[in-house]
Amino acid sequence: MPSPSSVTVRPAPGFPAPRGGSGRVLLLPGLAGGARIWQPLAARLRGTCDVYEAALPWNSGGRPDWALSGDPVAALGAAIDGVDGGRCDVVVAHSYAATLALHHLARRPAGPPPALMLISPFYRAHPTDFEWSDITYYLNDFHRILEAGLTVRSGGRVSGELLRDLGARLREVIGPYGWMRFFDAYLQTASLDLSAWPGPVVVVAGADDFAARPSDAEALSRHLPHAVLHVLADCGHFPMAERPDEVAALLLAHCLPTRDQELR
């Protein structure tokens, strides 16, 4: 169940000994995501900062009953607080986790705000931005999002009938309750007040993302006071794996500018 007690945070593979100081980066995967999807980005950050990953209830290999009760936003907050005694400098959240991060922002957590990189967020600014066709699209085509993730994680080695079978199996693991958690969080973004968030935010979207459409990222960047938007051409729902060099450069330049200057 998504509660703070079910969250664990650890250094990412290849980052066994945090060095302390500035540059603590937490990677948060989306629904049914996992550590593998972050490996290309993490490889580009090696030697520049400390990188952590969180085992969240809705990630690949998590508990199948996570969606039945509990508070996913509180679980995400616990992951952020679990980085080096609550001293997280940058939160990098993807897809569903990016949307949950928006809910976390709206709760005005105490303490100095971390910098944020929100990758492929699901966001609508107003309730009227949702239509019945959105429910049909995200329900009936949900498997396509899962298949896209499997394709990226496998480096394109999984395709055809096997890809469709694995996507359908993963959809069954997530189940109706998991999908409802995702879509409810998406719907509720239209009621969030993000205007007072004081920290820097980088919003990253893929121009070819058919899941979290670039228009969502564009709307979000207009409603966060310190946000910068980057839409990457020839990129889908997983920029951190599809375009890791550019995402790493954006993170260092906007979220860890001191580290970026030291490397020049």
In terms of phi and psi (left: phi > 0; alpha: psi -120 to 50; beta: otherwise), the region of 110 is beta
Nearest to 217 by CA among 122, 97, 91: 122
Residue 116 amino acid letter:
L
CATH class of 4-125+192-263: alpha beta
| Tally of CB atoms within 10 A around 217 | 26
pLDDT given for residue 261 in this prediction: 46
What is the rounded distance in angstroms from the CA atom of residue 130 to the CA atom of residue 234?
A: 26
Bridge partners, residue 229, by sequence: 203
CA 65 to the chain's CA centroid: 21
CA 90 to the chain's CA centroid: 12
pLDDT given for residue 13 in this prediction: 84
Q: What are phi and psi of 96, to 5 degrees?
A: -60, -40
pLDDT given for residue 100 in this prediction: 97
Please give the structure tokens belonging to residue 41. Answer: 């980005």
| Tally of CB atoms within 10 A around 44 | 17
For the chain, 264 residues long, the average pLDDT of each consecutive 10-residue run is 68 73 87 90 92 91 84 94 90 97 88 91 97 95 89 84 89 92 97 90 97 97 94 96 96 80 46
pLDDT given for residue 210 in this prediction: 94
Please give the structure tokens belonging to residue 193. Answer: 């007040």
pLDDT given for residue 258 in this prediction: 63
Cβ(72)–Cβ(5) below 8 Å: no
What is the rounded distance in angstroms from the CA atom of residue 95 to the CA atom of residue 4?
A: 20
